[in-house]
Amino acid sequence: MHADADHARQAVMLQIQLIEQLEQADKTFRDDGTLWLAYTRLAMIEEAAGRPDAEQSALAQARALYDRDHPRGHGRTYDELKGAVLELDRAADNLNP
């Protein structure tokens, strides 16, 4: 939340890599939505850093993963995905005042 873009990107990329490795190593592992949230967060970081190509790439991944996890909620906009991340962040902040 307070990191510079490069450190924030590194942290989110590590999270993404770990989840993807878990999915590959353990076929019974089912991501609980953390992956689309991480890719949305990465898109937000890339947007703030002024990297539109990287932002669009991360957003495409976020949308594909969201659609995989929520077949009936197909076609969420970037603002809707970003809103979900911001809402989760606010909820986490309220748990740790």
Q: What is the pLDDT of residue 55?
A: 96
Q: Which residue has the tokens 């495409």?
A: 60
Determine contact, residues 23/31, Cβ cutoff 8 Å: yes
Q: What is the pLDDT of residue 40?
A: 96
Q: What is the pLDDT of residue 2?
A: 61
* Closest to 61 in 3D by CA, of 82, 46, 40: 40
| CA–CA gap between residue 96 and residue 35 (Å, rounded) | 23
Residue-level pLDDT, tens digit, the chain, 97 residues = 566 899 999 999 999 999 999 988 988 887 788 999 999 999 999 999 999 999 999 999 999 999 888 888 677 889 999 999 999 989 988 886 6
Report domain extents, the chain.
5-95
Kindly state the tokens that stand for 7: 């450190």
